[in-house]
Each structure stands twice: as structure tokens, then as C-alpha cells.
Amino acid sequence: MSAIPSTMRAITIPKHGGLEVIQESILPTPQPSANNVLIKVDYAGVNFRDTYVRTGLYPSSTFPVILGQEAAGTVVALPTDQKLLESEAFKRKGLSIGSRVATVATQTFAEYSSSPWLGVFKIPDSILNTIGVAAMVQGFTALTFMTEAYNVQKDDWILVHTAAGGLGLIFCQIGKSRGAHIIGTTSSPEKAELAKAHGAEHVILYNQEDTAARVLEITGGLGVHAVFDGVGKDTWEANFKLIRRKGTIVSVGNASGAVPPFPPLKLIEKNLKVLRPAVPGYMTTPEECEYYATELWKLIESGTVKIKIFKEYPFTVEGVRTSQTDITGRGTSGKLLLKVAGGSGAVAHY
């Protein structure tokens, strides 16, 4: 294993704003620490959350901020806490110097990522790094939400908004694997076919059809048992029309803007449940992290869940700007990745 350099390249923002605030910086490389695993990053995943951090929807109080929340690469340093290294929970991770790993962590648009050990997962030999990183945020989101936000069961009717996106495709596959009937929404016939190929029984073209009316038609007027909505503001009100009595609306994201405030009395008419969960709340303990990682790798290795990579972008300012333009433009289908190893560009020094 080569020596860890004193500095590294990273994609950062010096303040909140538009695409123009994205820049490349030279920063000190994180040092080995008590509870973190140091990873040399090969790939990082692109997510809507990166745009929320940039714009300030998820505000930061200190700058510069390194973007990114998932990565795959090679372990170059283990935690320095000897008691942790000797714990059964850490040993079950199977981590060592040189291990191929994927991680859910902040500040992953960098050549090196210091990730809390709980969020670092050894990638099985049969799974590529690109698939490993692409499965992190979206795979854990779909799996935990379809297990704990609403536990999808055989013969449930489930609505997945933006079913042809990276997350939507995984929702469709997990739902189908459990015997549920999946209804998806998307923007084009081509994306509709992709969603159907990944498990959606019915797909509604939201820009041509009335989503609520079609859902009620498909479900015989009853509506769906649960909605997984990553769009937010634009789809929110319709969810209350198409959900059935005692149904569950799961707010997954804010692609069109944040969900506006609403009174709890809105839930009375159908005795509804509304959740806005986050993966860390479901993967907090070592046991929870081990369980969901094991389940996710099994789904991928068995072919039950196939991860679709839409595009790889260079690890440059322009590459990150383009990826954020693409992911917010609703023209993508599948996962967007940054190829960190080997990128180059103009940098700012801090």
C-alpha cells in the first residue's frame, strides 16, 4: 500500500449558491482517527442531496464544504482505537488494509474519505466497485424504507414516483420481489418501458395523464397502500387523493422542491400515516447496519436487484456541475457516478 499523501483534491463549495459555487480544492488529507476508516476513493455517487447541500436547502455553517455522501474504494487506514478493533462488531465487518469497500458518509467527492466505521461495508468479491457505490444511498434507502417506513407485503398496491430513476428502479425491484403490485410514474414511454423491465406492472406518464385518476382506475377506486414519493412539492397534494384508507405516504425526497407545511388534520379523512424518514435512523446500531448490508448484498448477488448505471462523470468542476444539472433535469434513468481516481482540473487551495 502506497504512502498516504499530505494533501488531496476535493470538490467543494465555499458558500451556498448555484452551480457556479462548485470548485476544486487542495485540502489536507484526513488522518487516521479513533473511529473512522480512511478510504482511497475510486468512485463517488451523485445524489439529489448534493444539490440540497449546495443550494442551502440543507444548510452548512462552516465552509468550504466537501460534497458527496457515498463512495467506493480501498481501505488505507483502520480506526486507531484498539478497543474498537478488538470488538466483535468491528471484527464482523471483515475490514483490513486493502479491503474493497463502499461507504455511506459525507464529504466523499475527494481522493480520500474518512468514514465512520459503522457506515463502511466490505464489497463482496462478485460485485464491482461501481455497483457497490451505486447501491449505497439508493439501495439502503429503498430497502430500509420498504421494510420500516412501510413494510411492503405480497399483494400490496404501491406507487413509486419517478420509477425510472436510480432509486425508483430499486424500489420497483424490491417491491416486485415481495409480491406487491407496483405502479410507477415517469415522463416518457422509453422510461416507462425501463420501469416495467424492473418490476412495475403499470406506469403512468405524469406529464400526459392524471396520476390520481389513473391510480384509482387501476386499483378499482381503492387507491394504493403506500406511496414512495421522491418528487416532493409537485406531487404531494395528489398523493392524498390516490392513497387508500389507512394508507402510508412516505416522503423520500424533494426533487421538485420541499413539501409545503400542512395541518395534521389533513390525515383524518382516511386515517393516514405520513413519514419523512432518513436512512441513518434505520441504520444506527451495528446490528442494524450488518443486517441491511447483508440483505442488500444478497439482493444484488442473487440478481433480484439489478443496479443500472446511467453515466460516469469526470472528477472535475465541470463534471460535477454537469452531473447536478443532469440529475435535477429529470432526464436520467439509473445511477450517476463520479470517477474519482484519475480525474484532474484547476484547483483552489485552502
Q: What's the order of all strands across the beta sheet hosting 23-28?
A: 65-66, 7-13, 23-28, 348-349
Q: Taking a C-beta distance cutoff of 8 angstroms, is the pair 79, 37 a contact?
A: yes
- The contacts of residue 167 (CB under 8 Å, 6+ apart) are 138, 141, 142, 230, 252, 253
Q: Which domains does the chain have, with CATH numbers?
A: 7-136+284-339 (3.90.180.10), 150-276 (3.40.50.720)
CA distance 193 to 267: 34
Q: For residue 349, give the H/E element and its range.
A: strand 348-349
Whole-Å CA distances, 347 to 111, 317, 344: 13, 9, 9
Burial 185-206 (b: 16+ CB within 10 A, else e): bbbeeebbebbbebbbbbbbeb
Q: Is 141 exposed, middle or buried (0-12, 13-18, 19+ CB in 10 A)?
A: buried
Look-up of cell digits 463549495: 13
Residue 77 has a CB neighbour count (10 Å cut-off) of 19
Report how far residue 313's alpha carbon sits from residue 315's, in angstroms, rounded to the nearest whole number: 7
The secondary structure of residue 31, as a DSSP letter, is P
Tens digit of each residue's pLDDT, the chain (350 residues): 578 999 999 999 999 999 999 999 999 999 999 999 999 999 999 999 999 999 999 999 999 999 999 999 999 999 999 999 999 999 999 999 999 999 999 999 999 999 999 999 999 999 999 999 999 999 999 999 999 999 999 999 999 999 999 999 999 999 999 999 999 999 999 999 999 999 999 999 999 999 999 999 999 999 999 999 999 999 999 999 999 999 999 999 888 888 999 999 999 999 999 999 999 999 999 999 999 999 999 999 999 999 999 999 999 999 999 999 999 987 888 899 999 996 444 343 33
**What pLDDT was estimated at residue 3?**
87
Q: How far is CA 53 from CA 22, 37, 100, in A?
A: 11, 24, 28
Check residue 344 and give its pLDDT: 40
**Looking at residue 254, what is its pLDDT?**
87
d(CA 151, CA 350): 47
